[in-house]
Amino acid sequence: MFARLLIMFYAIASYAIFLVSFGWALGFVDNYGQLAAKTIDSGAAVGLAEAIVIDVLLLTLFALQHSVMARPAFKRWWTRLVPPAAERSTYVLLSSLILLLLFWQWRPIPMPLWHVEGLAANMLIGLHWLGWLIALTSTYLIDHFDLFGLRQGFFALRGTAAPAHPFKTPLLYRLVRHPLMLGFLIAFWATPEMSAGHLLFAALSTAYILVGVLLEERDLVAAFGESYERYRQRVPMLLPRLTGARRSAESESEAHGAR
């Protein structure tokens, strides 16, 4: 019982640290000092070469951890060392800590690239926050608490393993296969004030997202087989089809379960 309580506490603590990192991310990307002690364009300026090298290394560290630990082969090895019920919480904890390190050590490159005002600025700000809303909503459409390790901790407390989710495509997942990533892309790029540092962050994050979704697609095909292959044929990866054809009732009934 003590071990099960410890896993549940660990899951809650990991989720709490995630919430801190997510709150900082909102202020960091948006240059909103009230939410973040340090933002993407704040802090002491350093030489351009130093800033680029440090920022690229920080983003690379996050990308490597985030991708490597998400692969099934790594999970199989990792769960020999940590309880399977704590695997997701450990992933969330390390991802959150690396994000906090990135925000803390980020070197600003404040050189302005564009600045818009008035209606255009308000539209970009609205689009920016819509991106965050899409990203957050996407986690709840599948299983927010499973995604961040709380569900696994709860079932561990009960002494059972969390049952696997079947495949499903709720709401936003009927428009694109990766609405979570689409939300991040919108949030990163939609800004009325784009600096060189913000551009570096957005460009490298976009490159990582594109590579990451390709790796995830491979894992999803391996996990769900023909169901996911048919889903890929019907639904675009990141950009919704503006002229898109509606899915038939038969294909709707075939798409069910969670990633």
Mean pLDDT of the residues in the chain? 90
Helical (H) or strand (E) element with 90: helix 84-105
Q: Which residues contact 197 (CB under 8 A, 6 or more apart)?
A: 40, 41, 51, 55, 106, 107, 108, 109, 110, 111
Q: With contact defined as beta carbons under 8 Å apart, do 76 and 162 qualify?
A: no
Tokens of 59: 């983003």
What is the per-residue pLDDT for 246? 46
The span from the CA of 154 to the CA of 145, in Å, is: 10
Q: What percent of the chain has pLDDT over 70?
A: 93
Residue 180: DSSP 8-state: H
pLDDT at 250 over 70: no
Token pair recorded at residue 257: 């379960």
Give me the amino acid identity at 223: A
Would you mind telling me the total number of residues written for the chain in this entry? Answer: 259
* End-to-end C-alpha distance for the chain, whole angstroms: 30
**pLDDT band, residue 43 (cuts 50/70/90):** confident
pLDDT at residue number 165: 83
pLDDT band at 243 (very low <50, low <70, confident <90, very high): low
Give the tokens for residue 117. Answer: 């005002």
Q: What is the distance between the alpha carbons of residues 14 and 1, in angstroms, rounded to a whole number?
A: 20
Decide if pLDDT at 255 tops 70: no
Check residue 3 and give its pLDDT: 86
Q: How many CB atoms lie within 10 A of CB 207?
A: 12
pLDDT of residue 160: 87
> What digits encode the pLDDT tens for the residues 76-113?
999 999 999 999 999 999 999 999 999 999 999 999 99
For the entire predicted model, the pTM comes to 0.88
**pLDDT of 68 higher than 90:** yes
Q: Find all residues with CB under 8 Å of 39, minimum gap 6, and list them.
A: 27, 28, 29, 30, 31, 32, 33
Which strand (E) or helix (H) includes residue 200?
helix 196-224
Q: Are 45 and 108 in contact (CB under 8 A)?
A: yes
